[in-house]
Structure 1
Amino acid sequence: MIVVFDAKCLLCSRWVKFILKYDRRGVLRFASIQGEAGQALLTEAGLRVDQLQTLLLVDGKRSWQHTAAILRVLHALGWPWRAAWLGWLVPAPIRDAAYRLVARNRYALFGRSETCLIPPADYSKRFLD
């Protein structure tokens, strides 16, 4: 599974660091929207890079966005994070509306870096570009 994220977004970068910390099996890989691999995955999913306000999770030919991507990532991390599947009980329009509100304001709320996240050396093989 590949997580496509905004490497200049500090919230997104923290999310990636969280995944790296708790993905003990190493099943998740990463591609930034600023890189070639990330842009190709976004294009395949029918998304535009400019003004992107979603996290994308790609697993083979399937992909998920917004809260569906987050819940699937948490499930992949195993216990106790797998318990987040209870989030599926909240209707998608409500979950995703909250997600989009945070995503639209992520730079103002959490900050933005002018440089992309540089993966720690021991995790660099999990980053596509």
Structure 2
Amino acid sequence: MTNWPDDDVILYDGVCIFCSRWVRFVIARDAARRFRFTPVQSDYGTRLAKAFGIDPSDPDTNAVVHGGVAKLKSDAALTVLSLLPGWGWTRALFAVPKPLRDAVYSLIARNRYKIFGKYETCFVPDADMRARVME
């Protein structure tokens, strides 16, 4: 995996309603304010996506940089969840074979706009959330 200088940064699709809810979910549980966020549609997010082989115009995954390394698809989601207070039990889900985890992840990712909808532009975070967004 590619290294990145910023750590604990979550890359997400800013027009995806499901992805934006994921960001809000993490923020609500991240009492230590460990994670920062960047929409793939921002300049910083586009650079990050390209560095990890994600097409910024059609992102098929979120990503998290943790320990300087990018985690993609189910690894990204489980890494983030496992680092949130009270969610450490999700580490056990790494025992599920990665091809199976990623197949489920990809099925949801491919259909996320049909299932959950899409914003016309990136959602606008509130002031507290905005302080944690990297653009």
Tell me the TM-score normalized by structure 1.
Answer: 0.94
Distance in 2, matches of 1:126 and 1:27, equals 9
Code of the residue aligned with 2:124 in structure 1: it is I
Structure 2 residue ranges without an equivalent (≥5): 1-7
Root-mean-square deviation (CA, aligned residues, Å) is 1.1
1:53 maps onto 2:33 in alignment: no
Question: Displaced runs of 4+ in structure 1, greater than 6 A?
Answer: none
Distance in 2, matches of 1:28 and 1:16, equals 10
Distance in 2, matches of 1:5 and 1:72, equals 15
Q: Contact between 2:54 and 2:60, CA under 8 Å: does it hold in 1? A: no
> What's the CA shift for 1:48?
1.8
Distance in 1, matches of 2:106 and 2:130, equals 29
Q: Report how many residues are paired.
A: 128
Question: Which residue of 89, 92, 116 maps to 2:122?
Answer: 116
> What's the CA shift for 1:6?
0.4
What's 1:17 paired with?
24
Distance in 1, matches of 2:36 and 2:124, equals 14
3-state SS of paired residue (1:68): helix
1:73 maps onto 2:80 in alignment: yes
Code of the residue aligned with 2:100 in structure 1: it is I
Structure 1 residue ranges without an equivalent (≥5): none
> What's the CA shift for 1:46?
2.4
Question: Which residue of 66, 70, 91 maps to 1:63?
Answer: 70
> What's the CA shift for 1:60?
5.5
Tell me the TM-score normalized by structure 2.
Answer: 0.90
Code of the residue aligned with 1:121 in structure 2: it is A
Identity fraction in percent:
36
Distance in 2, matches of 1:108 and 1:39, equals 23
Q: Contact between 1:27 and 1:76, CA under 8 Å: does it hold in 2? A: no
Higher mean C-alpha displacement, 1-10 vs 39-48: 39-48
Distance in 2, matches of 1:94 and 1:113, equals 29
Code of the residue aligned with 2:59 in structure 1: it is L
